[in-house]
């Protein structure tokens, strides 16, 4: 087994195997809560925390988990972690908890989490697993923020509205009205807008990757075929 470099794990989780844009897992919360930056950020952070804790626990227990019981064990671990996150949010970020509502307990159904537990944490040591959880969560969180920004800006002409729900009183000053007197663009706020926004982001990412590949081909670098391990 070749040693896994932490930087590789980070790049995989955050960009090459980005949950939202490449693997296309966890789309339900991704599409549903991203009507503002703050909603996206909050769900992204909650998901990241869940991924890190669940990856770490699975990795620690990986020696004990026989193949036939690993899935129920993953489910138990993930469900416990998500419920803890939910209780903590309910207690400490009450306003945000009310906004995100059902999507906090639904983190449990985000296939990315059980996917990372199965594909990575159950085969790797605790530290790389923790980093993998962080990287995957980061990638997911960034996608949520980007999509949230896109939709909030085009739908309402603001950015970071409701920041005080996450950051307390000083967050109030962070809310920005980018386009004053903006008439609003309903489509962006509705679920359909989430699909369009995600499609645009995926297209942008693909275009960028494509250009990178072309540039490298021109420079005469032999391409290492992108290993499709999943």
- On whether the CB atoms of residues 82 and 52 are closer than 8 A, the answer is no
The whole-angstrom separation of Cα 47 and Cα 141 is 8
| Burial zone of 15 (CB within 10 Å; 0-12 exposed, 13-18 middle, 19+ buried) | middle
Tokens of 210: 């494509």
The whole-angstrom separation of Cα 201 and Cα 150 is 9
Residue 140: CB minimum distance to other proteins, A? 22
CA dihedral 214, 219, 225, 227 (to 10 degrees): -90
Candidate segments 20-28, 134-142, 178-186, 204-212, binder of other proteins by CB under 8 A: 178-186
Q: Is 84 in the site for other proteins (CB under 8 A)?
A: yes
**Region 191-220 residues binding other proteins, contact defined as CB under 8 A:** none
Q: Is 94 in the site for other proteins (CB under 8 A)?
A: yes
Residue 228: CB minimum distance to other proteins, A? 32
Q: Is 77 in the site for other proteins (CB under 8 A)?
A: yes
Q: Give the max Cα distance, the chain.
A: 60
Contact flags string 99-138 toward other proteins, x per CB under 8 A? ----------------------------------------
Q: Is 73 in the site for other proteins (CB under 8 A)?
A: yes
CA dihedral 130, 101, 99, 40 (to 10 degrees): 30
**Region 41-60 residues binding other proteins, contact defined as CB under 8 A:** none
Q: Is 68 in the site for other proteins (CB under 8 A)?
A: yes
Q: Is 32 in the site for other proteins (CB under 8 A)?
A: no
Candidate segments 9-17, 66-74, 106-114, 121-129, binder of other proteins by CB under 8 A: 66-74
Residues 6+ apart with CB under 8 A from 104: 43, 46, 82, 85, 86, 89, 97
The whole-angstrom separation of Cα 166 and Cα 111 is 26
Size of the site for other proteins (CB under 8 A): 30
Q: Single out the residue of 132, 133, 153, 156 in contact with other proteins (rule: CB under 8 A).
A: 156
Q: Is 34 in the site for other proteins (CB under 8 A)?
A: no
Summarize as ranges the residues that interact with other proteins (CB under 8 A).
Answer: 35-36, 61, 64-66, 68-69, 72-73, 76-77, 79-80, 83-84, 87-88, 90-92, 94, 98, 155-156, 183-184, 186, 189-190
């Amino acid at each position: 087994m070749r040693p896994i470099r932490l930087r590789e794990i980070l790049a995989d989780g955050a960009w090459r195997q980005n949950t939202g844009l490449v693997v296309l897992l966890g789309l339900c919360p991704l599409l549903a809560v991203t009507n503002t930056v703050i909603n996206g950020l909050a769900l992204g952070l909650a998901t990241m925390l869940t991924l890190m804790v669940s990856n770490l626990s699975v990795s620690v227990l990986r020696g004990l988990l026989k193949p036939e019981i690993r899935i129920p064990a993953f489910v138990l671990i993930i469900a416990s972690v998500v419920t803890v996150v939910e209780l903590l949010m309910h207690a400490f970020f009450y306003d945000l908890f009310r906004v995100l509502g059902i999507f906090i307990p639904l983190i449990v159904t985000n296939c990315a989490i059980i996917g990372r537990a199965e594909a990575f944490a159950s085969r790797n040591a605790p530290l790389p697993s923790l980093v993998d959880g962080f990287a995957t969560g980061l990638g997911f969180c960034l996608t949520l923020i980007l999509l949230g920004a896109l939709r909030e800006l085009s739908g309402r002409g603001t950015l970071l509205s409701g920041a005080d729900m996450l950051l307390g009183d000083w967050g109030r000053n962070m809310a920005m009205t980018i386009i004053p007197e903006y008439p609003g663009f309903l489509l962006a706020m509705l679920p359909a807008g989430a699909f369009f926004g995600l499609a645009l982001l995926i297209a942008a990412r693909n275009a960028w990757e494509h250009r990178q590949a072309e540039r490298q081909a021109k420079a005469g670098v032999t391409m290492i075929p992108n290993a499709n391990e999943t």
